[in-house]
Copies of this chain bind each other. A is one copy, B any other.
Amino acid sequence: MLSERSELSPARWMWSLWFAMELISEKGHPFAEELEKIQCSLQDVGSALATPRSSAREAHLRRTTFESGRVLELEQWIDKYSGQLPPLTAFILPSGGKSSAALHFCRAVCRRAERRVAPLVRMGETDANVAKFLNRLSDYLFTLARYAAMKEGKQEKIYKKSDPSD
């Protein structure tokens, strides 16, 4: 029980995201402003998750509604970057330098969070926009990881099947 509760708590994954995003922001990338907006939105994700719809007061629920505008905004950002990227032709490792690797890491954390939020949405306890936001956020982070590697001139490492005869 203890462990299940703590897994569902936003704390751990959210703190990992905040921390990794702060590491990247320091580099002065043009997308730092987007990451700051996302850091605020994650705070709202936390509030929404901490406010189960079946038991919270009406006024509190209104305050923690998660607007769909933020999902649309992420989609626009994804389109903006993905148009500039070379196509994926091989399986890449979460590499491409420090910023890119941090973004790949954030994406993995975000995907896990999405899987944990999904049942809460199905049970009607959490706004579906929260899950949609996390879903688009994973895509955004993956796209941005590749974009950051490209902008910093870093190589994306390709997965190579180890050859035992090597």
Contacts and interface: CB of A to CB of B under 8 A. Distances in A.
Interface string A132-166: 00000000000000000000000001011110101
Interface string A107-121: 011011000100000
B166 A26 contact: no
Given A3-B4, A109-B15, A67 B101 contact: no
A138 to B, nearest CB: 13
A52 interface: no
Interface residues of A, number: 47
A108 B9 CA distance: 12
Number of copies: 3
For the complex, would chain A's binding face be called helix, strand, loop or mixed by DSSP majority?
helix
Contact of A18 (B18, B23, B40, B93): B93
Interface in A57-103: 67, 69-70, 91, 93-95, 97-98, 101-102
Given A15-B105, A67-B164, A69-B166, 20 more contacts: A2-B4, A6-B112, A12-B112, A15-B104, A15-B109, A18-B93, A18-B104, A19-B102, A22-B94, A23-B98, A25-B95, A26-B98, A37-B162, A39-B93, A39-B95, A39-B157, A40-B93, A40-B160, A44-B162, A69-B162
